[in-house]
Chains A and B, each alone.
Chain A
């Protein structure tokens, strides 16, 4: 079955520290992957996407993710956390043959403390 798994429902980092949010996908999903961010009481905002080409993808707000087919992973990183990064992050992939039908991971809530 197709799936997207996010390891760690909660991650806490200090301001200025590295942010690493983990995402693994089942090999049966099409090779398109997305990271979205959700701030409290808001909808989802696209951070970055992988479609084809370069496996290191840069997104908004200093985030980037690397597509690793051999590890079926698409981890999200940011070198230096900022207080404004506190939010919930979702990794997503399309259902195969499902057009605009996304499977989401369960989400990782990122806390940033001074």
Chain B
């Protein structure tokens, strides 16, 4: 099975918070999150490996995440803004090196109204 994400679609109101979930490919220990918007393209949010955040992109503190012992990951966005509307993609990788390809899930489309 590939990377799975839930939910598929989500509609929230400004000021609310949201939690997105990602289950990596079995055996993969690294999970990365990306935001995709028409204006900014694909931007790296953060990466977790063995429950530790190793990298963080240039996003405000409203964006946070965590990884569980089974490698599943969640990301949370608090105090939603209209600009947070995007496709959020999760990717998993076997190990933590730059040469390891990442496998992406189908994404969660978040709409903030």
Residues of A within 8 A of B (CB): 30, 32, 34, 36, 42-46, 49, 51-52, 90, 92, 94-96, 98-107
User: Do A99 and B104 contact each other (CB < 8 Å), given the known contacts A43-B89, A104-B42?
Assistant: no
Give the interface SS of chain B, mostly helix, strand, loop or mixed. strand
Whether B74 is near chain A, meaning CB under 8 Å from some CB there, is no
CB–CB A46/B103 < 8 A: yes
Provide the residues of chain B in CB contact with A103, threshold 8 Å. 44
Contact of B21 with A by CB under 8 A: no
Q: Is the CB of B98 within 8 A of A94?
A: yes
Query: Which of A52, A100, A105 contacts B32, CB < 8 Å?
Result: A100
The answer to whether residues A100 and B96 also contact, given A43-B89, A106-B41 and a CB cut-off of 8 A, is: yes
Q: Which residues of A contact B98 (CB under 8 A)?
A: 30, 32, 94, 96, 98-100
Number of cross-chain contacts by CB at 8 Å: 69
Whether A43 lies near B49 (C-beta < 8 A) is: no
In the complex, what distance in Å separates the CA atom of A104 from the CA atom of B102? 13
Q: B57 at interface (Cβ–Cβ under 8 A)?
A: yes
Q: Give how many B residues have a beta carbon under 8 Å from the other chain's beta carbons.
A: 28
The residue that B89 contacts in the complex, of A30, A44, A99, with Cβ under 8 A, is: A44
- B97 part of interface (Cβ distance < 8 Å): yes
User: Is B42 touching A90 in the complex (CB atoms < 8 A)?
Assistant: yes
A100: chain B residues within 8 A (beta carbon) = 30, 32, 47, 49, 55, 91, 93, 96, 98, 100, 102
